[in-house]
Each structure stands twice: as C-alpha cells, then as structure tokens.
Structure 1
C-alpha cells in the first residue's frame, strides 16, 4: 500500500493547470512552502486541494495538511478503503507526480525492498483521490484505495486512486457520487520504473 509519494512540480505550474481546467484556486492561508520532494512520507505536511465551504463548483482551496490522522490505537490512517462508501463531504485532491510501491527483493541477499515509481502517462503531474478530516493532530488527509487495477496488480493487490484531469472537478463536487469517479485507469496509464533493487528475471511476475 502506498506510504511514500513524490511531488517535484512547483505550485505555480499546478495553479496554472487548474486554471486551464476552469478550476479557480484560492489560497486562504497564504502560499504554502512546498519544496520539491522525492519522498513525501506518512505524517509529513503536503499540499492538497479541497472544495470550498459553500461547495461552489469550479472553486477550490489549496492548503498544506498532515498526511494521516491518528487512528484508534495511535497509528496514522494514511490509506482508507473506498469500497461501499459515498464520501459525501470532505473530499480532496492530493497533488503528486509519482507514487511508490515496494516489493520483496528479487535478489535474496538484498536487504532492502525493491522500490517502484508509478507516474501518469501524458501528464507531468496528477491528483490522487483523498479525504480529509479534523483530528487531535489537526486537519489531516488520507489516500483512498481500491483493489489494484492492471498497472499496479503485478506489484500489490491494492492501490491508491489516481484521477485524470477531467475527474478533478467531479471529485471536489460532493453532489457527484463517488462510484462515478473512483475507478481504474486503462492499462498503460501508470508507467512504472524501478528506483532501486535488482530487476526481476525476464517474464517474472513481481508480487
């Protein structure tokens, strides 16, 4: 399950892309300090885009929030199952240009897991479907998950939910049912490259 993702794109470019989609971004807390980061990990602060309080379609807020709220036993809730839930409020878009999955090492003597980077075909960056809530640690967000689609299934049985650009406004609009937005992308939409570790044998399936 995703516990590490990447954002190297500057916020000015991100705001411009939202504007091209007729989604006006407001920054109610001032422009957050978001340095380019190869690894954003659980409990880190990171930028999200969420709907406004009046739910006006085409308008959203950019804020910096904690990834993962404390669960009942104190462990952060960083992934959240989407199946069977409506998410009629507090939806958000998590800004990323890649996310990582880890698998057992192909080389038995290798101590660390193999690391794989998934990106979005045809786009420099993308959004991941999320929700946010208030917590004892302050407002925080989590990534929604579903059974793995064709690109991720060889690496993990579950996956987070990257959204195409024509889905962003719908996800921020609570009037649009979640089931109409949360779905697999077509095969080949999420190219994967190996960050470190031994490449698998030719034709091998990574589990």
Structure 2
C-alpha cells in the first residue's frame, strides 16, 4: 500500500535524473504531502524519448463515466495486475514511473492511534515507483491518470506494513518503461532489504491538508 508520499526535487533535477524531457505542465515541487487525486510527477516513454509529465494519481478505467464512477484506484497489486480488467492492458502497454523522494505508512497503537512513519532510500536518491497509466475522458477534457504498483512488503518494511510500492532500480527503468520490449514481469518483486530506511514523524501528516518540511522530521518513537 502507498497512500501518501513526498517529492522534494526541483523539476529540472527530476528530468536530469531520469533522462527525461520536462513538460511545462508538471506540478510544483516540493510537496511534502502528495495525496490521492493530486497531480504527480510521472516518467513515461514514447517515440520521442522519455518525458516527465503530470498525471492524476488515481487510475480511471475507460468505462468510468465520472471521476467518482468507481473505486479510487491509487494502487495496483503486482500479483493480480495482469489479469485485472482495470489494469491488464495498461500493464502490458502503458507502464510508467512515479517519482518520489519518500513515502508514508502508518502503524496503530493498542488504543487505535495512527502513528506515521516516513520511508526513504538509504542512499538519498529519488525513489522510482513502478506505475501504470491510462488516458480518460473525452478529447476536450482528457486527462492522464496513474496508479502505483505494489508488492508484498520485504522483511524491513513488514515491521510497519504488509505491502510496499514496487521500487525500480536504475538498471531496470528501461525495461519497465517498455524501451527494451516485453519481459517486465520478473521486476514485480519486493525491493532489496537494504535500500530503505524509516523513522517516526509527527502525527500532523495524518491530515491531508498538512504541508511543509516539518512533516518528515524524525520523531522519537516514545514521543506523542
């Protein structure tokens, strides 16, 4: 599961990191509280090479008559994505990378209090979430939408959640984006144990209206 994340790199730096041309519609960064239905930074590949573009986080299948015409599809499970009506075609033909610098997960106390954790790469590099995308709506109002592919959590992340985003290493970007043809199925596995680290952060991030770098500041586990 991935329901909230951060993006703190400047747009130009994102483009350089992923060797992608930056569209003039990409959203403002930094954003320390990226929420479902927000516009997010997405790398996709086409005839003219890689592009960094804006997409709605919340995949809209073609048969949805409105944006609220069905469940909000922000994640797609790696185990079933190829056979799901909503995602199957996109998994084969429209794979993408969502750019992040970190993401949040929550644990619960015995009393039911939600405690947020911030997760990032140990090496400080941007995180490449595997994703799928779909254009939706009539031509005059068409929008691109996307979802993050998830896998079972590795041992590291299973301490706080049973699912994790599918994280792609640089050597696998081209294969996932379809630049090397088919054969991306072997990439659908949990990330290596040593690539991520996490720490507790203030409960302010529990609100989707919260913002600012203080949301990712480390908080002692005993606090609050």
- TM-score normalised per structure 2: 0.75
Task: Find the counterpart in structure 2 of residue 5 from structure 1.
Answer: 5
More moved, 141-150 vs 89-98: 141-150
The Cα shift of 1:105 comes to 3.0
Mapped pair 1:125 → 2:126: yes
Task: Find the counterpart in structure 2 of residue 157 from structure 1.
Answer: 162
Task: Find the counterpart in structure 2 of residue 43 from structure 1.
Answer: 37
More moved, 93-102 vs 114-123: 114-123
Q: Distance in 1 between matches of 2:182 and 2:60?
A: 28
Q: Distance in 2 between matches of 1:158 and 1:112?
A: 20
- Secondary structure of 1:15's counterpart equals helix
Q: Going by fraction, where is helix more abundant, 1 or 2?
A: 2
Tell me, which stretches of 5 or more residues in structure 1 are unaligned? 20-24, 201-207
Task: Find the counterpart in structure 2 of residue 205 from structure 1.
Answer: none
Q: Distance in 2 between matches of 1:99 and 1:34?
A: 18
Task: Find the counterpart in structure 2 of residue 77 from structure 1.
Answer: 73
Q: Distance in 1 between matches of 2:173 and 2:193?
A: 20
Task: Find the counterpart in structure 2 of residue 204 from structure 1.
Answer: none
Q: Distance in 2 between matches of 1:150 and 1:176?
A: 29
* 8 A contact 2:7–2:99 mirrored in 1: yes
* 8 A contact 1:127–1:162 mirrored in 2: yes
Task: Provide the aligned C-alpha RMSD in A.
Answer: 2.3
The Cα shift of 1:70 comes to 4.4
Give the counterpart of 2:97 among 93, 96, 107. 93
Q: Distance in 1 between matches of 2:93 and 2:9?
A: 28
Task: Find the counterpart in structure 2 of residue 66 from structure 1.
Answer: 56
Tell me, which stretches of 5 or more residues in structure 2 are unaligned? 83-87, 204-219
Aligned length: 187
Q: Distance in 1 between matches of 2:27 and 2:136?
A: 22
- TM-score normalised per structure 1: 0.80
The Cα shift of 1:97 comes to 0.4
Structure 1 runs (4+) deviating above 6 angstroms are none
Deviations 1:108-166 (A, max 9, x none): 3xx75100111012133121000001234722000001111122111111211111111
